[in-house]
Amino acid sequence: KTALELNDAMFGSILFALPVGQFLMMPFSGKLVTRFGSEKVILFAIPAYTLTLISIGLVQSGWQLALVLFMFGLFGNMNNIAINTQGIAAERLYGRPIMASFHGGWSLAGFTGALIGLALINLELTPFQHFTIVVLLVWGIIAFNYPFLVRSNSDINVIPQRRRFFGKPDSALVQLGIIGFCSMASEGAMFDWSGLYFKDVVDAPASLVILGYTSFMIMMATGRFLADRIISKIGRKRMLQISGVVISSGLFTAVIFPTLVASTIGFMLVGLGVSSIVPTVYSTAGKQTRIPPGIALATVSSVSFL
């Protein structure tokens, strides 16, 4: 923002290009995964995704940043659908729920990425140098893990029906998408408002303003590693029901009792509640046999993203 001499309004408008790219790519991502196989899409999407990240460090104007962020969102969504389709395929071959653990790995990667980013910032690197190091690390991880991906003849085991490209979405998938939307809305509230809530409502000391967000993230990551075992015992439907109750209880606790301890407990409950919903919704969508997994995931993601 400072380097490009952008004001708040311009910067906010430019950042909007990223979710626009994500949303516009959703119907195409599922088709690409179904047509070529998730492992081939990953082989294209991750290099494109990471090269776009490097490009962010090279932009010289606002319109260039908007274009690069649009492409970053586009390739990010393509990668998201392909990776989650891989998760569904691996879960099917594994024979029991493991999808939430994959999402737990994503949460741990977020923590790890934050620590790596902090270390690189302290080295006073330029954005281009910073992003290049991150990309090289990602490429190394992908090169090591790519041979272990499930091949397309295993991750697409349904017979695709002849459907119009923008046909009427499956009602069951829309319902799953609505559940995902409610979960993502709760996550978004935690991401965007937790610091402000602890500062202005809870009146927490400056050193503890981040406590709500941190406790939420820790419980979300923890819950994801516990969820698969619980789902194996009580089933996906019951897990979604319990998760909804836990989220509501957490929000109720934080709002009705705006003290430091009570709000922290409330945010922890919200993190625990949302931890399993998105992976459970994705897994459920991938298990149906009417629509290929990639298209099913794209449908659920589109509704959830709204």
37-85 pLDDT per residue, tens? 999 999 999 999 999 999 998 998 889 999 999 999 999 999 999 999 9
Mean pLDDT of 138-167: 69
pLDDT band at residue 113, thresholds of 50, 70 and 90? confident
Residue 187 has pLDDT above 80, yes or no: yes
The per-residue pLDDT for 155 is 45
8 Å CB contact between 25 and 77? yes
pLDDT band at residue 156, thresholds of 50, 70 and 90? very low
Residue 248 has pLDDT above 60, yes or no: yes
Comparison of pLDDT for 12 and 165, the residue scoring more:
12
d(CA 56, CA 69): 7
8 Å CB contact between 224 and 280? no
d(CA 120, CA 131): 9
Residue 157 has pLDDT above 50, yes or no: no
Residue 100 has pLDDT above 50, yes or no: yes
Mean pLDDT of 259-280: 95
Alpha-carbon distances of 161 from 83, 141, 151, 167, 177, rounded to whole Å:
23, 36, 21, 12, 21
Report percent pLDDT > 70 for the chain: 94
pLDDT band at residue 166, thresholds of 50, 70 and 90? low
The per-residue pLDDT for 191 is 84
Query: For all residues of the chain together, what is the average pLDDT?
Result: 88
The per-residue pLDDT for 245 is 96
C-alpha 157 chain-centroid distance: 25
The per-residue pLDDT for 225 is 95
Mean pLDDT of 111-140: 87
8 Å CB contact between 161 and 290? yes
d(CA 56, CA 50): 10
Residue 164 has pLDDT above 60, yes or no: no
Q: Three-state SS across the chain?
A: CCCCCCCHHHHHHHHCHHHHHHHHHHHHHHHHHHHHCHHHHHHHHHHHHHHHHHHHCCCCCHHHHHHHHHHHHHHHHHHHHHHHHHHHHHHHHHCCCCHHHHHHHHHHHHHHHHHHHHHHHHCCCCHHHHHHHHHHHHHHHHHHHHHHCCCHHHHCCCCCCCCCCCCCCCHHHHHHHHHHHHHHHHHHHHHHHHHHHHHHHCCCCHHHCCHHHHHHHHHHHHHHHHHHHHHHHHCHHHHHHHHHHHHHHHHHHHHHCCCHHHHHHHHHHHHHHHCCHHHHHHHHHHHCCCCCHHHHHHHHHHHHHC
The interaxial angle of helices 277-287 and 171-196, nearest 10 deg, is 170
The per-residue pLDDT for 254 is 94
